[in-house]
Chains A and B, each alone.
Chain A
Amino acid sequence: MGSYISSTAVQQREMLHEAGYKDFEDMFSCIPDRVKLNRKLSIPGGMSEMEVSSRIKSFAARNTVFHHIFRGAGAYDHYIPEIVRQVTAKEEFVTAYTPYQAEISQGVLQSIFEYQTAVCELTGMDVSNASVYDGATAAAESIFMCTAPGRMRVLVSEAVNPRVRAVMKTYCHGRGVRLETVPCRNGATDTAALSGMVDGSTACVYIQQPNYYGILEDADEIGGIAHKSGALFVTGCNPIALALIESPAESGADIVTAEGQPLGLPLSFGGPYLGIMAAKQELVRKLPGRIVGQTVDSEGKRGFVLTLQTREQHIRREKAGSNICTNEALCALTALVYLSAMGPEGLKRAALLSTSKAHYFQKELAAAGFNPVYDRPFFNEFVTTCPCGSKTLTDELASHGILGGLPLPDGNILWCTTEKNTKADIDEAVRLAGGISV
C-alpha cells in the first residue's frame, strides 16, 4: 500500500495520546455510527509507485498518438517551445494556491499581471482577468457582462463552435436570457438576417473569428450592426490568429474571449485548457474571476495583489456576477511563457505558416476531388466535400498515422493546419485521400 503520510505509526500514537484520544476510533466517535461506512471501501488495495506507474502507462499505451494532425475544431496542435514545459514544471508555480497572501506570492501575482498585459496586447482590450476554465465558459460568462434589465436577448452566430454554443445555452438556462441563433450564409454569419434581428432589447451579438468553419467574418460590419442598436459586440478568437488578422479592438469589439489552448498547451484530450477574457475599461467591474493589480508595499516598492474583489463570490455571495473561484492560473502562466518565447515576430510566423499551409492544402485537396464548400476568405481551417464517405477517409488516413479532418454532420470535412504540418506531410495526406476509390 502506498502512502504520503510523514509521521510514523509510533508518532501517530504519541500524537493521539497528546490530543487526548485512545485511538483513531475514539477520535472519530464524534461521527454518529449510523452514517459511518463501517466497512472497507470496495476498491483495490494500494500499490507501490512502480506498480501504479506501469498501470497508468498501460492506459496511455491504449491511445493512438497521431504525429500528423489535420483536425482542429476547438483544439489545435501547435508547436510548443521546450522552455514552456521547463518553466511551467517549476514546483513553486505548480504547488502554490491562489495568491491570497500577496507578500508570500509575488511570483504568481506578477506572472498573472504579465499575462493580463499580454492578453490586452493581443486583443487590443484595456483589461483582462486572470483566466476562466476554457474558451466555452469564457464565452458563456461574457453573456452576463452584457445583459441588463430590458436587454436580455443574446444573438449568437450559427458559425460559432457548436460546443461553445452548447455551453452558452447551459449557462443561460433559468436566468431569463433569450439566446437566439443568427443563421449562416455561405459559411459565415448572415449580416442581413442579423440586421433584422438586432433591436433595443439585444444585450450583445457574439461571433467567432475565424469562425467554426475557419472563415474570416466581416467583423467590422457585424460590430457596426450591434452598436447601432446599443448592443455590445463580443468576439471569440483564436489567439494565434490575432498576430496577423485585424484585432478585435480594430473591429469594434467590447469584449473578447478566446480558447487559450493554442498558446503552448498540449491537446491533452481536452484539458486543462485556458479561458481568456478581456474587455474595454468601462466593463471592468463586470469582468468575472480574479484580477491582479499593481500597488506598493509599506516601503513604496512596486508589488502586486488580487484586486477589485468586491465583484467576487467570496464577498458578494449570491449577488456576485459569477461563481468562479479556482481558475486556470498555471495555464495562463503557460500562455505567458509561450508568448514570451514566440515574441511578436514568432507569433506572427506561427499565424502565417498556419494560414499559408491551409491555403496550399485546400488547393491540393480540390485537385484531388475534395472541393471547397465555401467561397470566402479563411484562416487555418476550411470545409471540403468528401467524395468517398468520411469514415472511409478518416480510417484510411488513420492507418497511415494521420488524424484527418473532422467529419461534420452533413458529410463534409473540416480540415485544419498549423505550422507543424510540413508541405511533405500535406502532400502525403492529399495523395492518400485522392487514392481512395469512390
Chain B
Amino acid sequence: MKLIFEESVQGRSCSILPECDVPAVTPEKTRKLPLRLPEVSENDISRHFTELAKNTHGVNNGPYPLGSCTMKYNPKVNDAMASLEGFTAVHPLQEPDTVQGCLAVLKTAEKTLCEITGMDAVTFEPAAGAHGEFTGLLLIKAYHESRGDTKRTKIIVPDSAHGTNPASAAMAGFEVVNLPSAADGCVDLAKLQEAVGDDTAGLMLTNPNTVGLFDKNIGTITEIVHNAGGLCYYDGANFNPVLGIVRPGDMGFDTVHVNLHKSFSTPHGGGGPGSGPAGCKSFLKQFLPGSEIVESDGKYDTKPYPQSIGRVRSFAGNFLVVVRALTYMLVLGSDGIVQAAQNAVLNANYMRVKLSAKYHPAFGGTCMHEFVLSLEHEKETYGVSALDTAKCLMDYGIHPPTMYFPLIVHEALMVEPTETESKESLDALIAALLAIREKIETDPEYVRSAPHKTELKRLDEVQAARHPVLHYDFASSGGPK
C-alpha cells in the first residue's frame, strides 16, 4: 500500500475554505521550514483510507477473542448518539446553564456506575484505564497524606497484574512491592500477610484476576490490607463477567476504575479513545479531580472538590465516550447488564471445555470471562509456540488471542470471547483452534510460518526495533519534495 505522502502531487488540493474577508495579517516571524503535508484530492483521500480500512480487522470483521480487552460488539446506536450536534458542538468552557444536557449525561452515568460498582462517587476525567489507575492511586496518596500518615509509601501489586498497575503506582510516586501468586493463580494469603505493614499505602487487584479466575478469598484479602491500614484499589479491566453479580465496593475495595471501552461496549478506535472513570467510597470523595456535578431541582451545576488532587486532564473527560456508555447502560438496564455478564462467562466456559480435549488450560475449574491456555507442551514437543498458533488463527479470519500474558504462565494464550459472539461463531472459533492443533502435530512448519493468507506475511519486529524508521523519508523517495 502506498503512503498518503507517496500519493501526493504538487499543486493538487481539496477546496475547503473561503477567501479572507478581512485585511490579511501575517505574523512577524513566519515559518521558513517546508511543510510537506499530502497534496491530494478528496477522491485520493477516500480511496486511500478505504484501502487502509480493508487491511484492518475490527470487531465488525470477525471474532476478536483478545484476552483482557473485552472486544464485544459496539452497538451502532451508541455512535449515533455521540454524533448528535447537541453534544459535539458544545464548547467545554460554556456557562453551566448552557450545558445542562452534558451535565445530565455525566450525572446519570455517575449514578449508574456508582450502583454497579458499589462506590459513592465517580469522576469521568480519566481518559483510559491506566489514567483511572493513576487517579485512584493519587486518591489513596491524598488520603494518607491528609492523615499525616507519610510513611505509607508502598503499593502491593500481584505478579500476574497488568503492566499498567506497577507503572501507575510508580507514576503516583509509590514504591512497588511485587506479590508472587499462589500455584492456583490467585493471591497467596500468607505472602500477602508478610507483605503488608505500616508502610503499606494500598493493594491493586483485579478480580476476576488476569488468569480469568474469581479469587474466592477476596473478602480476606481486602481485610488483611485494611487491617494493616492500607486501602484497596480495584482494577476494573476484568469487570465485564461480574457486572450486576458482584460489586467492587462489596468486596472491600475503596477505589476503582472501569473501562468504558471494555465492559460498557464503547469502541476501541484502533487504540483509543477510551474512558477510565474512577470511583471511590465517600471518605475519598473530597480528593477527586476537577469538579463535582451537583443537582438541585432538576438544575445542574459544578462545584470543585474541596481537597482535590488537581486535574488529570484539561476538561471533563472523553465526554462522547461517556455518551456511548450511557446509551449502552440504558439499553441493557438492570437485567440486561446481568445477562451480558452471564453470557460472557458462559461463552468462555463453553470454549474452555471444548478446547480442553486438545489444549492445556493453565488452571482448572470454572473460569470467568476468559481463560489461559499454555502451549508449553506444544512448544517443547513440536517446536510450535503460542505466537505461531496465534498467527495461524488469522488465516481463519479471526483475531488472535492475547499472547504471553499473564507473565506467570509460559507460552500463554489468553482467550476472551465476550458475550456478543453467538454459539455458531464460538463453534467456528473452536473448530479453527482444533484444526490448528491438529496441524501442530501433522505439519508444524505450516504453523510456524503462518499467517499464509494475509496481505503481508510475518513481520520482522526485530529489524523495526534495531533500525527504527519512524516516519516517511521524503529525501529517499524520489517522490514529492
Contacts and interface: CB of A to CB of B under 8 A. Distances in A.
Contact of A360 (B22, B108, B335): B22
Interface in B290-329: 309-321, 323, 326-327, 329
B37 A326 contact: no
Interface in A69-96: 69, 71, 73-75, 77, 79, 81, 83, 86-87, 89-96
Most chain B CB atoms below 10 A, which of A47, A135, A164: A47
Contacts of A398: 95, 98
Contacts of A242: 31
Given A15-B350, A95-B268, A173-B310, A344 B26 contact: no
B425 to A, nearest CB: 7
A270 B273 CA distance: 13
Contacts of B73: 4
A293 interface: yes
A319 B170 contact: yes
Q: How large is the interface on A (under 10, 10 to 19, 20 to 34, 35 or more residues)?
A: 35 or more
B479 interface: no
Contacts of B164: 313-314, 323, 325
Interface stretch (A147-155, A225-233, A331-339, A365-373): A331-339
B130 A245 contact: no
Interface in A87-127: 87, 89-108, 110-114, 116-118, 120-122, 124, 126-127
A45 B81 CA distance: 20
Given A35-B219, A87-B45, A307-B461, A103 B454 contact: yes
Interface string A372-400: 00000101000000000000001000100
A87 B46 contact: yes
B33 A340 contact: no
Contacts of A298: 449, 457-460
Interface in B1-44: 1, 3-5, 12-14, 16-18, 20-33, 35-40, 42
Contact of A4 (B37, B345, B420): B420
Nearest to B453: A103
B370 to A, nearest CB: 14
A317 interface: yes
A438 interface: no
Contact of A245 (B30, B265, B463, B468): B30
A102 B20 contact: no
A62 B103 CA distance: 10
B130 A30 contact: no
Nearest to B247: A37
Nearest to A289: B271
Nearest to A125: B471
Given A41-B244, A344-B36, A56 B327 contact: yes
A353 interface: yes
Nearest to A67: B89
Interface string A155-191: 0000001011011011101111000000000000000
A174 B267 contact: no
Given A4-B73, A5-B419, A27 B366 contact: yes
Given A16-B346, A323-B134, 4 more contacts: A87-B46, A96-B58, A104-B400, A324-B131
8 contacts: A94-B269, A95-B60, A170-B311, A244-B27, A246-B31, A313-B167, A331-B273, A352-B26
**8 nearest CB pairs, A to B:** A270-B315, A174-B173, A60-B86, A46-B333, A330-B269, A107-B56, A6-B422, A270-B92
